[in-house]
Structure 1
Amino acid sequence: MKILVATDKPFAAVAVNGIKDVVESAGIKLALLEKYGEKSKLLDAVKDVEGLIVRSDIIDAEVLNAAKQLKVVVRAGAGYDNIDLATATANGVCVMNTPGQNSNAVAELVFGMTVMMARNLYNGTSGTELKGKKLGIHAFGQVGRNVARIAKGFGMEVFAFDPYCPASVMEAEGVKPITDINELYSTCQYVSLHIPATNETKKSINYALLKQMPKGAMLINTARKEVINEEELVQIMDERPDFRYVSDITPDNASVFAEKFTGRYFFTPKKMGAQTAEANINAGIAAAKQSVGFLKEGIDKFKVNK
């Protein structure tokens, strides 16, 4: 029995060692494919493995069909839109994620970027404070809950919209539930996005929503770039000099921002929400434990495909 860790963007060495300990102590062979670059190397490496651990690597139909012995894929992280769930299901492959392992890291990045933009990118001019401001959390999963926890430390008034989360859960965290998405955006000067990229959500953050935000609005995106209607975001920033955007996902039209909106946006050079030593280790080891648990005992607690 073999588990492959295939990471074009590798885990930290300490995380790899932790994964190795978990897998090999269960009597399972571990293979490692890092910085592989060419897809052909991945296609060759998956041919004889029962388990596959990945990060943001694209596991499409071609990869899944090449992995004839594959039983389980675990995405070390919360998002799993990089995996072809339909093909995995058709091939009898269980797909799992590791929810919660990166959530604090992402939440801290939200505020790292937010404070920086609120202080005008530290350019020496007078900025604004977060205390007393209204923050809207769009999707109240593990990351959203950590964002709420930190926001309360800043003294912000926190609201959340999530049709899949009971109001009682939000209230227990000291957050005000909002049942209408338009109300979230019209109420909150700051909105932090934590929605997945699905057919329902792609390009859903559009002009109609954003134009409702109060003066001095800031949109914070540590979710996926696909959820933003990028053309309409440019439109609202054109119309409203007070509107600001920060993201750890560089948009496809980043050159437009560079040309037109200097000082009103910030993008990290690559997706960095989970880029901390702690998150790296937590997600990697969780993925290893879930892979072993499935292969040895059939445990599929975090299965995301049906």
Structure 2
Amino acid sequence: MFQVKTFNAIAQVGLDSFTNNYAVNQTDAADAYLIRSVDLHGATLPAALKVIARAGAGFNNIPLDLATANGTAVFNTPGSNANAVKELVITMLVAAARNVFAAAEYAGHNSGADISTRTEHDKTKFNGTELMGKTLAVIGVGHVGALVAHAASDMGMKVVGYDPYLSADDAWHIPTSTVRARTLAVALANADYVTVHVPKNEETTGMISTAELAMMRPDSVLLNFARGGIVDNKAVVHALDEGRLRQYLTDFGDDVILGRDDVVVTPHIGGSTLEAEANGAVQGAQTIMSFLETGNVNHSVNLPTLQVPFTTQYRLTLMHQNKPNMVGQIATMLAQRGINIEGMSNAARDDVAYSIIDVNQFTGAQDAELLGKLKQIDAVYRVRLLRRPEPQVI
């Protein structure tokens, strides 16, 4: 029986995805965490914790170094809330173009017998522009960015995409009409609207700051519905004050940008739809079950992708440092015990490596002795012995 602990409110449909081999919230010493936005920095991770699944794309609330040292694989659920974020971004694009927020604020504070006359006179103050024919720069064209590019193209916008880390898989999802910019400066130069859709990390923190804002047109509008900190808010305020930026719309509050007519802040609602929460919960549950039962890795943020069909009776998985002769040491230990390797796969991601070893012959006596020896290798974070799952009968 695997133990799962949840944090935050996890959609019931996700919890219902777990099979009878799983118990939810029965112990703190869990095999798996299924979380959303809970901040695990400073938390003590139990030794039993093998996997953390984040129901959502962001994972900056998880201490990756601590998790890796604990032998804990960390996963996110990319794409689960992509449509929700896309719809909010398109909503904000339209609202910015048509001055919807200012117009609604005006209408909400005006009443009386002459309201029709005054509204007819004053409405010209809220004249907007149409999005058709305008240029949108999409910075980051992964799951969300590609959807935004499609929707903007459908509305007749000219879309320029910039993403130096664009994968071959992601490239298939970008509209053919999207012009790919070779540099960030080229993407920003002629854009009427700029929307940011990159993950937050050391490289992207402050990605849009003073220098980048200076590359943009003074009447342009900037949107950040990716992560707080990717846009330098102090630099944005300075640009707004100097008339070098028309408006800023973001999903991430900050005292620096509050109380301004040229800034619209929403309370981190990009992925807050019933559908997105359900998608993330189900995908997170499926990720946990796949990793615990097969050892396969996909969409991990601290391990390399490694997926191997589980066709043998047993499988050893090792999470370890990416050092020379690690695979050799492991294979030698098995050979010394007369264990024939049916298949062996290894992959690395920066300083972390992951190995899958498939075998058919494995005795009970060998279990404890071999696992103990493998765990004693200094560079090994975690060793697991898996038995091939029984086919489900319905």
Same-fold call, TM cutoff 0.5: yes
% identical aligned pairs: 32
- The one of 14, 21, 36 aligned to 1:19: 14
Match of 2:7 in 1: 6
Per the TM alignment, residue 63 of structure 1 is displaced from its structure 2 partner at its CA by 3.2
Quick check: 1:192 aligned with 2:195? yes
Once the two structures are superposed, residues 182-232 of structure 1 have per-residue CA deviations (whole angstroms, 9 ceiling, x without a partner) of 111112110110112211111121121112222421001101121121211
Aligned 1:59-70 pairs, distance under 5 A: 59-64=40-45, 67-70=46-49
Aligned 1:1-306 pairs, distance under 5 A: 1-7=2-8, 10-11=9-10, 15-16=11-12, 18-23=13-18, 25-31=19-25, 47-64=28-45, 67-120=46-99, 121=101, 123=103, 124=123, 125-165=126-166, 169=172, 173-240=176-243, 243-255=246-258, 258=259, 261-262=260-261, 264-268=262-266, 270-306=267-303
- How far apart, CA to CA, are the structure 1 residues paired with 2:182 and 2:88? 27
Once the two structures are superposed, residues 21-53 of structure 1 have per-residue CA deviations (whole angstroms, 9 ceiling, x without a partner) of 211x24110128xxxxxxxxxxxx6x3100001
Once the two structures are superposed, residues 138-157 of structure 1 have per-residue CA deviations (whole angstroms, 9 ceiling, x without a partner) of 01110001101110111100
Aligned residue for 1:228, secondary structure, equals coil
Per the TM alignment, residue 128 of structure 1 is displaced from its structure 2 partner at its CA by 1.0
Amino acid at match of 1:29: A
Per the TM alignment, residue 178 of structure 1 is displaced from its structure 2 partner at its CA by 0.3
Structure 1 166/196 Cα, relative in aligned 2: closer, same or farther at 3 Å?
closer
Structure 1 148/217 Cα, relative in aligned 2: closer, same or farther at 3 Å?
same
Q: CA RMSD in A?
A: 1.8
Per the TM alignment, residue 299 of structure 1 is displaced from its structure 2 partner at its CA by 2.3
Aligned residue for 2:229, secondary structure, equals helix
Aligned residue for 2:272, secondary structure, equals coil
Structure 1 211/291 Cα, relative in aligned 2: closer, same or farther at 3 Å?
same
Structure 2: stretches of 5+ with no match in the other structure: 104-122, 304-394
Once the two structures are superposed, residues 168-192 of structure 1 have per-residue CA deviations (whole angstroms, 9 ceiling, x without a partner) of 6476542110011111111211011
Aligned residue for 2:161, secondary structure, equals strand
Aligned residue for 1:227, secondary structure, equals coil
Match of 1:42 in 2: none
- How far apart, CA to CA, are the structure 1 residues paired with 2:245 and 2:14? 47
Contact 1:107 1:147 in 2 (8 A): yes
Amino acid at match of 1:280: E
Once the two structures are superposed, residues 52-97 of structure 1 have per-residue CA deviations (whole angstroms, 9 ceiling, x without a partner) of 0111111224232xx2210000000111111111111111000000
Per the TM alignment, residue 113 of structure 1 is displaced from its structure 2 partner at its CA by 1.3
Contact 1:78 1:102 in 2 (8 A): yes
Structure 1 119/77 Cα, relative in aligned 2: closer, same or farther at 3 Å?
same
Higher relative contact order (CA 8 A, sep 6+): 1
- How far apart, CA to CA, are the structure 2 residues paired with 1:128 and 1:172? 24
Contact 2:150 2:175 in 1 (8 A): no
Structure 1 290/26 Cα, relative in aligned 2: closer, same or farther at 3 Å?
farther
Structure 1 171/4 Cα, relative in aligned 2: closer, same or farther at 3 Å?
closer
Match of 2:111 in 1: none
Contact 1:26 1:292 in 2 (8 A): no
Hey, which of these two has a bigger chunk of helix by percent? Answer: 1
Contact 1:171 1:177 in 2 (8 A): no
Per the TM alignment, residue 165 of structure 1 is displaced from its structure 2 partner at its CA by 1.1
Larger Rg: 2
User: Any runs of at least 4 consecutive aligned residues in structure 1 with deviations exceeding 3 A, and if so which?
Assistant: 166-173
Structure 1 296/131 Cα, relative in aligned 2: closer, same or farther at 3 Å?
same
TM-score where L is the length of structure 1: 0.86
- How far apart, CA to CA, are the structure 2 residues paired with 1:164 and 1:156? 24
